């Protein structure tokens, strides 16, 4: 019988690095090698984190017709084939404006239920000039279903605060949930400071990180259904139980008829965003004639008209 000391000495001869001599040399076909045990008996291979994701490692200019000179960043990604069709400054940190609300919706659906009743607190009292609001008052109630429609279709900032305060227990706790989710998705160049996207120097992301977030969000059919809607009407209640009517329209100018996507491309929906600091931003889910999905994102464009013209050029790359 081999002594304990002998076993220790034998095992020690199998470890180490550099010029250490091995008592049992590595042989792929050896009946006693760890290689044989692991790869012949259980030939499993771990999927990499990005095995089904587009990976942007360099600039991809696409066709010469694509002019992104007035955009801060832009990407066009073939979701099914994990292919990058266009990329400019994909990893540069920028303000996302209301594109933030896609993450707000994603976290809300992950941790809440659509029939959950939300009650407005003073958190909905946003006073920033020009901020998009649906008019919520303290004590108003609506379901998460209703709030998500208003959030994604009309980009109401008070709806974002309503969701965050109720789903997270506090706005601060919800924002932490957003940041935790971003890290889990690999969006490591992202930090959220609020659930709506109004300007904060500590609130930033990248075009590529937004792709990771949006790609996860569209796994929810509920989100795809909402972002495809052109308008929405609902009834919610004030603090006394009285009905309050609300009707909103999409902020997406493709849906308003101002612009038309290229032939053979259908815009399913997405999210708009505009602040002085962020410029004009747009994130879209589109499909080609085979119903294959594409994600396109433009950040910090100089005007709304320029933004949509750039997006049309970008979507036109789907044909090439």
Residue numbers annotated as active site: 98, 101, 155
CA gap 307, 281 in Å, rounded: 7
Would you tell me how many other CB atoms lie within 10 Å of the CB of residue 21? 7
Would you tell me how many other CB atoms lie within 10 Å of the CB of residue 56? 19
In angstroms, the Cα distances linking 166 to 121, 188, 244 are 9, 26, 20
CA gap 308, 224 in Å, rounded: 21
SS3 of residue 127 by DSSP: coil
Strand-by-strand arrangement of the 279-287 sheet: 83-88, 73-78, 293-301, 279-287, 266-275
């Amino acid at each position: 019988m081999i002594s304990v000391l002998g076993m220790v000495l034998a095992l020690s001869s199998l470890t180490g690095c550099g010029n250490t001599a091995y008592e049992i040399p590595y042989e792929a076909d050896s009946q006693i090698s760890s290689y044989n045990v692991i790869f012949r008996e259980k030939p499993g291979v771990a999927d990499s984190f990005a095995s089904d994701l587009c990976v942007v490692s360099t600039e991809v200019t696409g066709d010469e017709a694509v002019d992104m000179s007035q955009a801060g960043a832009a990407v066009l990604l073939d979701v099914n084939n994990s292919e990058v069709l266009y990329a400019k400054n994909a990893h540069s940190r920028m303000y996302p404006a209301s594109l933030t609300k896609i993450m707000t919706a994603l976290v809300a659906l992950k941790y809440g239920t659509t029939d959950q009743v939300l009650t407005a607190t003073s958190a909905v009292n946003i006073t920033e000039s020009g901020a998009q609001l649906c008019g919520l008052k303290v004590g108003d109630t609506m379901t998460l279903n209703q709030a998500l429609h208003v959030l994604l279709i009309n980009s109401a900032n008070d709806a974002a605060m309503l969701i965050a305060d109720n789903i997270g227990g506090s706005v601060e706790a919800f924002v932490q949930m957003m940041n935790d989710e971003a890290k889990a998705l690999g969006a490591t160049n992202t930090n959220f400071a609020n659930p709506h996207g109004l300007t904060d120097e500590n609130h930033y992301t990248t075009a590529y990180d937004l792709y990771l977030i949006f790609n996860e969000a569209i796994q929810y059919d509920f989100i795809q259904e909402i972002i495809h809607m052109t308008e929405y009407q609902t009834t919610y209640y004030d603090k006394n139980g009285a009905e309050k009517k609300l009707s909103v329209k999409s902020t997406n100018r493709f849906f308003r008829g101002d612009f038309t996507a290229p032939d053979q491309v259908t815009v399913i929906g997405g999210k708009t965003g505009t602040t002085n600091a962020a410029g004009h931003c747009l994130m879209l889910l589109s499909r080609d004639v085979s119903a294959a999905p594409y994600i396109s994102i433009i950040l910090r464009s100089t005007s709304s008209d320029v933004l949509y013209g750039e997006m049309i050029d970008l979507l036109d790359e789907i044909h090439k």
